């Protein structure tokens, strides 16, 4: 089990020897970038973009140019989240669009990013609200020539603000049974624990909530959960109630 530690402190990239999860929204204002000591992943800031503006305020071309700068200056960039479209009801109310349209835009953006920058490690993200939505998104990728079962990592969106741990576990198990290696964005500790004991596929989580502020808490938690499911990769944020998106 591996954690990506979500943080709003980009300077930690040059200080900590553990995998971090940093938002583009936090990094974009930095003229001088830290040099990473360890592998890290980049969040696109999708939740903040759509919840605040109801749309993406920057296009894929600008995002690609910025990610290339991060990859060159910071280094050790393991993977990058695309500009996906979450499907929570309050996000749909903000955008005024349907779930189906959000799925279409999510898949289309990933295809565009691949075309613009095949050398960068963008990951596909499955979006939806019901299990059928996620399966429809899976089929949309396949229709565009992308077999998610062959991808090293597949993001799983629109799950971090669900109240039901059982609901999250059902979504994860359904998709994991397809043979997907999943990264759940912003999943909190109860869902991580429930899924860790049942998941049949390697899964990656970035939790949005956690107790304590020191990396030592994160490392101890990683060791404890690893004993339960060595194939599950888990991550959580070091501050309580915050979200790095």
User: Structure tokens of 31?
Assistant: 């003229």
Number of compact structural domains in the chain: 1
Distance (Å, whole) CA 240 – CA 194: 20
* CATH of residue 173: 3.20.20
Lowest mean pLDDT among 45-49, 90-94, 184-188: 184-188
How large is the angle between the packed helices 189-196 and 215-226, nearest 10 degrees?
20
Does some domain include residue 239? no
Assigned domain for 238 exists: no
Give domain status of residue 46, yes or no. yes
Q: Quickly list DSSP for 15-60.
A: T-SS-EEEEHHHHTT-SSPPPPSS-EEEE--HHHHHHHHSS-SS-H
- Which residue has 């609901």 as its token pair? 167
- Cβ count near 80 (within 10 Å): 21
59, part of any domain = yes
Q: Which two tokens stand for residue 101?
A: 């349209």
Q: Grade residue 229 by pLDDT with cuts at 50, 70 and 90.
A: very low
Q: Give 59-111 pLDDT, tens digit per residue.
A: 999 999 999 999 999 999 999 999 999 999 999 999 999 999 999 999 999 99
Residue 185's pLDDT is what?
80
In-domain check, residue 29: yes
Give a yes or no: residue 240 inside a domain.
no
Q: How confident is the model at residue 191 (pLDDT cuts 50, 70, 90)?
A: low
Question: What local confidence, expressed as pLDDT, does residue 195 receive?
Answer: 54
Asked if residue 236 has pLDDT above 50, the reply is no
Does the residue 209 lie in any domain? Answer: yes
Helices (H) and strands (E) in the chain, counts: 9, 8
Q: Does a structural domain hold residue 32?
A: yes
| C-beta separation of 198 from 169 below 8 A | yes
Q: 120 vs 57, 70, 81, 113, 204, CA distance in Å?
A: 21, 11, 11, 9, 19
Q: What is the DSSP letter of 122?
A: B
Instruction: For residues 182-210, give the mean pLDDT.
Output: 54
Full residue range of the structural domain in which residue 104 is found: 5-226
Distance of CA 175 to the CA centre of its chain: 15
Question: Is 138's pLDDT higher than 90?
Answer: yes
């Amino acid at each position: 089990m591996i954690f990506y530690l979500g943080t709003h402190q980009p300077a930690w990239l040059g200080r900590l020897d553990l995998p971090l999860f940093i938002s583009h929204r936090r990094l974009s204002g930095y003229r001088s970038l830290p040099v990473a000591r360890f592998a890290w992943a980049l969040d696109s800031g999708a939740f903040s973009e759509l919840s605040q503006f109801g749309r993406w305020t920057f296009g894929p071309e600008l995002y690609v140019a910025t990610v290339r700068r991060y990859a060159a200056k910071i280094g050790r960039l393991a993977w990058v989240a695309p500009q996906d479209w979450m499907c929570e009801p309050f996000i749909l109310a903000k955008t005024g669009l349907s779930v189906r349209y959000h799925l279409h835009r999510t898949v289309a953006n990933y295809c565009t990013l691949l075309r613009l920058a095949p050398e960068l490690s963008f990951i596909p993200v499955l979006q939806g609200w019901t299990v059928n939505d996620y399966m429809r998104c899976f089929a949309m990728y396949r229709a565009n020539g992308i077999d998610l079962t062959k991808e090293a990592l597949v993001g799983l969106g629109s799950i971090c603000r669900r109240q039901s741990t059982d609901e999250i576990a059902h979504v994860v198990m359904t998709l994991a049974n397809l043979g997907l290696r999943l990264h759940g964005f912003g999943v909190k500790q109860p869902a991580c624990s429930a899924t860790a004991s049942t998941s049949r596929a390697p899964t990656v989580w970035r939790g949005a909530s956690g107790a304590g502020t020191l990396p030592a808490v994160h490392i101890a938690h990683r060791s404890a959960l690893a004993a339960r499911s060595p194939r599950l990769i888990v991550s959580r944020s070091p501050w309580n109630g915050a979200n790095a998106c």
